Amino acid sequence: MELARAFSTMAADLPAIFSMIVVSVVGLVMLTVAAFRSDHPSIPWLGVAGMVVASAWELFQLGTEPGTAFFGAIRVGGYAAFINLLVLLAGIATTILSVPYLHRLKHDYGEVYALLMYATVGMILLGSSNSMVSIFVGLETMSVCLYVLAGLIREDEGAVEAALKYFLLGAFSTGFFLYGIALMYGATGTMYLPAMAQADLATAGGTLLFWAGVALFLIGFLFKVSAAPFHMWTPDVYQGSPTPLTGYMSTASKAAAFGSLILVLYYALPAERWTLVLAVVAVITMVVGNVMALSQANVKRMLAYSSIAHAGYILVALAAGTEAAFAGALFYLLVYTVMNIGAFGVMALLEWDGREGRVQTLDSLAGIGTDRPVLGVTMVVFMFSLTGFPPFGGFFGKYAVFAPAVDAGLTWLVLIGVLMSAVSGYYYLRVVYVFWMQDRDDVVDARQASLGGLPPVSRTSQGVLVVCAVGLVAMAFFSGGLIEAATGFFDASAMAAAGGGG
Amino acid sequence: MFAEFVPLFIMIVLALGLAFTLLKAAEILGPSRPNKIKRTPYESGMDPVGSARERYSVKFYLVAMIFIVFDVEVVFMYPWAVSFQDFIDGGAFLGVMTVVTIFSVILMVGLLYDIKKGGLDFEK
């Protein structure tokens, strides 16, 4: 009868993976439709509908008590719901932004949207995993889909380069990651995160084995969130991939990976030994990201380096390691997702408007704000928010990650972070300057001559960008409540009750 | 605990040593009469000349996909079938049937996709 009981437990746990089921079933339906007619216009909207249903479900899960399901493999409750909601909203925005973009490229295959759905499923699993096995399965589901999406425009050499680099380096980092898991399992004898912290590392060899495993494991994760010195792939991949999908890669996959990393740090890694490691990585990441971004002429590449820098800011909170810091990191992930999807979305819609074909340098977009007022204004909001100016979410996000780090005694780290975000003002505000204030006469002549005026931009896509921009302002107003709610996910007593698992 | 691995290290050293020794011995002791054909990378294969970026049919991938569909299906269905009686005895008939049905449906969607994309259409 034990088997019967196992099956009934699993059936009772099905609500825990409701959004995964919805998104993957809708993905299968989309693939079936795509088999009959690959460019059927309903396919992306099917995906959006599925993700809206899933995110409505996750919205109601935000307030639930933390716990585990499927014999400790999956974590449920507010924390998982928050990460899942973030990933699903990023998926919805990306799908809507991709429709006009891929149509214009004549690459609007249904398979793209189906792959986006499967990547989202992987991210949901990653963000709600409680065991090393589900972390690995989620990470790989996500990564394999993203490798394919990066090389979508296969007649473009840059895209092929991006896909191949992403795939080879990603596969290599997966090797580190798996080896780390193997060593950690060898030292503790368990795959479950809470059980790992309680394991007895009595023998000297066991301790060495465990921390060697943690080091390799962190390399795998830091690669996925593109933290320096494991960031080398990021600029090439982000530049070569289709722009809306770059936005997706730089936000949703980072949100899921950081969400999972926080779970590992919070539950599985006992002492405070990793603080200095993460602090050093955060310093390198912030410096490399911001300094390299300064000299980029290509806007997409600049945004790629900026996303490295933002991973550094989040790592500051992770290095602090307190519950307030983790909550701040969650809020930062939310803000970062909205503003980065927006920035890449604007660049996607502007991709044909410059002088130089699809490659947009700062010069080629001079004065574009006057021709495209909605895109220009939203871009200003995103750039100011990325810099961290007060009326927008970016400022409160930075405050939420830096303040707990000061409390944790990492003032030197925060000092570097603040200095580096001052540096970032130069390259973000230069975009604003180029969009609105640069003399456009000579540029416009060339543009009008080659294109015969600018074609209209999709209204739905502009709508998504406006929603993102308004959302950034709203987040600034509700930042206190949001951070408080995020802190609630780490409620110590409830966590202890759910600590069991495997 | 590292003492347990000493035999493994000895074996690795022996394996590397043996491989190196045999290769070197063949080079030193054996007669060496090279000619052009012998020195090509693939002695009996095609000439490795020309661009490496040759085109070949995408059909290979579709055929490989069909292979994967059935391969994965069999890999999971064998243990499922072997332990089927145990599941019935354990009172989990409905559960195990549901699970395998979901699994097969997902694979069949893959097969349907493949066939509609012309995976079995060898004329073209």
**Confidence (pLDDT) at A271:** 61
Cβ <8 Å between A11 and B112 = no
Rounded CA gap, A306 and A423, in Å?
A: 11
**Averaged pLDDT, A474-485:** 88
**Confidence (pLDDT) at A158:** 87
In a domain, B63, yes or no: yes
**Confidence (pLDDT) at A8:** 86
Asked whether residue B119 carries a pLDDT value surpassing 60, the answer given is yes
pLDDT in tens, A337-355: 999 999 999 999 888 776 6
Mean pLDDT (chain B) is 84
In a domain, B6, yes or no: no
**Confidence (pLDDT) at A446:** 56
Asked whether residue A84 carries a pLDDT value surpassing 80, the answer given is yes
pLDDT in tens, B51-80: 777 777 777 788 888 888 889 888 988 999
From the number of C-beta atoms within 10 Å of its C-beta (0-12, 13-18, 19+), residue A480 rates as exposed
Min Cα distance B113 → chain A (Å) is 5
Report how many Cβ contacts below 8 Å link chain A to chain B. Answer: 39
In a domain, B87, yes or no: yes
**Averaged pLDDT, A445-457:** 61
Q: What is the band of A499 on the pLDDT scale with cuts at 50, 70, 90?
A: very low
**Confidence (pLDDT) at A275:** 86
Q: What is the band of A500 on the pLDDT scale with cuts at 50, 70, 90?
A: very low
pTM: 0.87
Cβ <8 Å between A6 and B1 = no
In a domain, B8, yes or no: no
ipTM of the predicted structure?
0.78
Report the length, in residues, of chain A.
502
Give the phi and the psi of residue A183 in degrees, each rounded to 5. -65, -40
Structural domain for B75, as ranges: 59-116
Single out the residue of A459, A418, A246, A462 nearest to residue A340, CA to CA: A246
**Confidence (pLDDT) at A497:** 46
Min Cα distance B52 → chain A (Å) is 16
Asked whether residue A157 carries a pLDDT value surpassing 90, the answer given is no
Cβ <8 Å between B113 and A2 = no
**Confidence (pLDDT) at A450:** 53
Rounded CA gap, A48 and A133, in Å?
A: 29
In chain B, residues with a C-beta closer than 8 Å to the C-beta of A3 are 86-87, 90-92, 95
Give the phi and the psi of residue A487 in degrees, each rounded to 5. -65, -35
Lowest average pLDDT, out of A86-90, A289-293, A298-302, A360-364, goes to A360-364
Cβ <8 Å between B95 and A28 = no
Q: What is the band of A283 on the pLDDT scale with cuts at 50, 70, 90?
A: very high
In chain A, residues with a C-beta closer than 8 Å to the C-beta of B1 are 203, 205-206
Cβ <8 Å between A7 and B95 = yes
Cβ <8 Å between A35 and B86 = no
Instruction: Choose among A3, A28, A206: nearest Cβ to B87.
Output: A3
Pairwise pLDDT comparison (B46 vs A189), residue with the higher score: A189
What is the tally of structural domains in chain B?
A: 1
In a domain, B70, yes or no: yes
Rounded CA gap, A404 and A318, in Å?
A: 10
In chain B, residues with a C-beta closer than 8 Å to the C-beta of A210 are none
**Confidence (pLDDT) at B121:** 78
In chain A, residues with a C-beta closer than 8 Å to the C-beta of B87 are 3
pLDDT in tens, A231-262: 999 999 999 999 999 999 999 999 999 999 99
A102, A153 Cβ separation under 8 angstroms:
no
Lowest average pLDDT, out of A109-123, A335-349, B82-96, goes to B82-96
Cβ <8 Å between B92 and A3 = yes
Residue B82 sits at the chain A interface (C-beta within 8 Å): no
The most confident of A1-10, A192-201, A268-277, A424-433, by mean pLDDT: A424-433
Q: What is the band of A379 on the pLDDT scale with cuts at 50, 70, 90?
A: very high
In a domain, B10, yes or no: no
**Averaged pLDDT, A61-85:** 89
In a domain, B111, yes or no: yes
A29 → chain B, closest CA residue:
B109
DSSP A66: P
Residue B94 sits at the chain A interface (C-beta within 8 Å): yes
> Where exactly are the structural domains of chain A?
272-492
Min Cα distance B17 → chain A (Å) is 27
pLDDT in tens, A187-210: 888 899 888 888 777 666 678 888
**Confidence (pLDDT) at A3:** 80
To test the contact with chain A by mutation, choose from B1, B61, B94 the residue with the greatest count of A C-beta atoms within 10 A, namely: B1
The CA dihedral of A156, A157, A158, A163, to the nearest 10 degrees, is 90
Min Cα distance A43 → chain B (Å) is 15
DSSP 3-state assignment of B39? coil
Which helix (H) or strand (E) segment is A442 a member of? helix A441-451
Q: Which amino acid is at B119?
A: G
**Confidence (pLDDT) at A502:** 35
Rounded CA gap, A244 and A82, in Å?
A: 23
A326, A262 Cβ separation under 8 angstroms:
yes
pLDDT in tens, A27-61: 999 999 999 988 889 999 999 999 999 999 999 98
Asked whether residue A487 carries a pLDDT value surpassing 90, the answer given is no
**Confidence (pLDDT) at A492:** 54
Kindly give the interhelix angle for A299-320 and A323-349, rounded to the nearest 10 degrees: 170
**Confidence (pLDDT) at A43:** 93
Q: Which amino acid is at A317?
A: A
Share of chain A above pLDDT 70, in %: 92
Asked whether residue A144 carries a pLDDT value surpassing 60, the answer given is yes
**Averaged pLDDT, A369-382:** 90
Asked whether residue A501 carries a pLDDT value surpassing 50, the answer given is no
